[in-house]
Structure 1
Amino acid sequence: MNAPPFSASFQSELETLFRWRRDVRHFRTDPLPRALLDNLLQASCLAPSVGLSEPWRFVLVNDADRRSAIRSNFERCNAEALKGYEGDRAARYAALKLAGLNDAPHHVAVFCEKDPAQGRGLGRSTMPETTIWSAVMAIHTFWLAAVAAEVGLGWVSILDPDAVHHALDAEEGWEFVAYLCVGYPLEPSMTPELERTGWEQRNPERRVWITR
């Protein structure tokens, strides 16, 4: 089978997709059609994985009590994180809405089965963390598919992993990777919110590739 041609127009649109991928914190409350959410999750499974192990495990968190436990977890961790900033930085941090937990209609927790039977251990003997990296690739694939469908995704990283694992009754051997808020963005923007609010700026002069 021949690889499909990717036109210059497609390549330009692909770059536009990359530029519009944002960490969304403000959501509309209306849910996605279930078929759309299923399609996005299915697309995430097209991500590459070490040894074709497909170690990602997506948990749709719909139960109100479980969501409440995650929200409480976030509030505790966020309050602790605030102590790490002083002065203007502290004020800026406090003003940021760091989670869409209240408004996002869909919550998706992502775990990684660190030592799955699938893949038969290929590529993991010296770098077992490659299963985690594979799960992150699935998240990124999900993210891009969501943006293409005009859906927003926000990654809530200020959480105690052990508490999340307990709150969601995750399987033994699964490692918590990400808690994702998913829904239609309230105000789509190509500019990162942290840049719009003055928290941080991109550095266009910085080169992150080197030659040895």
Structure 2
Amino acid sequence: MRPNTLEPLARAGAFAPDEQESVYKAIKTRRDVRSEFLPDAVPDEVIRRLLDAAHHAPSVGFMQPWNFVVVKDDAVKTAVWEAFNRANLEAAEMFSGEQQATYRSLKLEGIRTAPLGLCVTCNPDRCGDVVLGRTHNARMDSYSTVCAIQNLWLAARAEGIGVGWVSIFREDELKHILGVPERIEIVAWLCIGYVDRFYSEPELAVKGWRQRLPLEELVFSDHWGERDPEFASSIAAAAEVPPRPGS
């Protein structure tokens, strides 16, 4: 978490220090949940709050290209899991040796165990052919939809609700199951539900798949590949600051 500070609020609109801590806490303790879902139903009022948080995401040209398919039906979730499983078996064959063994040991989805599934889509035609801000990058509508997913994910973490993003499937199969039109892009299938715990670190780090890269190695100054040694050192030093008590 951020180091403690006694500096007064000096910027218009800045949150109070404890409110800032809550935002950073949600960001740093957010997890991609795979196997810790409880069977408890998520109340509709909570689902509404999460969707409202998603709907308040920024979007290029204010096009708001997202739609949300809320799935509670077990038969639909089973069909989605079967599509995932076919793709997952193919994915496993793309790795080799010890990495393949580690991949096969991971539970990469909670499609059938999470009480709620959410398909998040992107409609590229919502604002017509020419969209403010998308004139030179056709993917900006998809990127906007990802912002909506992140908003929902952080709100869910604040509510004590786990979210798992499933990306291993063939899009045409998922469209067929859910009746999604051809022109609509499926951006994510999210598994959502209360959990028995949140890992203290990302699950893939805990289970040895990958570790978080040092931030100072990823930040350049003015030009690609150029680093400001003093700034890099300050980033590294900040990473070593222990969290505030109770955060």
> Deviations along 1:170-192, whole A, 9 cap, x unmatched?
13421010000000122212310
Q: Which of 17, 20, 33 is equivalent to 2:26?
A: 17
Larger relative contact order (CA 8 Å, sep ≥ 6): 1
> In structure 1, the residue corresponding to 2:137 is in which secondary structure?
coil
Identity, in percent, stands at: 38
Which residues in structure 2 correspond to 1:149-168 (within 5 Å)?
149-168=159-178
2:191 is aligned with 1:181? yes
> In structure 2, the residue corresponding to 1:142 is in which secondary structure?
helix
Which residues in structure 2 correspond to 1:72-87 (within 5 Å)?
72-87=82-97
> Deviations along 1:142-174, whole A, 9 cap, x unmatched?
000000111110000111111111110013421
Consecutive unaligned residues in structure 2, runs of 5 or more: 1-10, 224-247
Does the 8 Å contact 1:53/1:118 carry over to 2? Answer: no
How far apart are residue 128 of structure 1 and its match?
A: 1.7
Whole-Å separation in 2 of the counterparts to 1:104 and 1:131: 28
Q: Which of 142, 145, 149 is equivalent to 1:135?
A: 145
> In structure 2, the residue corresponding to 1:102 is in which secondary structure?
coil
- The equivalent of 1:170 in structure 2 is 180
Letter in 2 for 1:24: V
Which shows bigger deviation, 102-111 or 167-176? 167-176
The verdict on how the C-alpha distance between 1:57 and 1:119 changes in structure 2, with shifts beyond 3 A counting, is farther
- The equivalent of 1:31 in structure 2 is 41
Whole-Å separation in 2 of the counterparts to 1:53 and 1:109: 19
Letter in 1 for 2:27: F
How far apart are residue 205 of structure 1 and its match?
A: 5.5
> In structure 1, the residue corresponding to 2:209 is in which secondary structure?
coil
Does the 8 Å contact 1:53/1:119 carry over to 2? Answer: no
Does the 8 Å contact 1:51/1:120 carry over to 2? Answer: no
Does the 8 Å contact 1:152/1:182 carry over to 2? Answer: yes
Which shows bigger deviation, 45-54 or 165-174? 165-174
How far apart are residue 3 of structure 1 and its match?
A: 5.4
Whole-Å separation in 1 of the counterparts to 2:141 and 2:75: 30
- The equivalent of 1:91 in structure 2 is 101
- What is the TM-score when the length of structure 1 is the normalising length? 0.93
Letter in 1 for 2:170: D
- What is the TM-score when the length of structure 2 is the normalising length? 0.81
Does the 8 Å contact 2:78/2:112 carry over to 1? Answer: no
Does the 8 Å contact 2:77/2:112 carry over to 1? Answer: no
Q: Give me the CA root mean square deviation.
A: 1.8
Task: Give structure 1 regions of 4+ aligned residues with deviation exceeding 6 angstroms.
Answer: none
The verdict on how the C-alpha distance between 1:51 and 1:102 changes in structure 2, with shifts beyond 3 A counting, is same
Does the 8 Å contact 2:74/2:112 carry over to 1? Answer: no
How far apart are residue 120 of structure 1 and its match?
A: 6.2
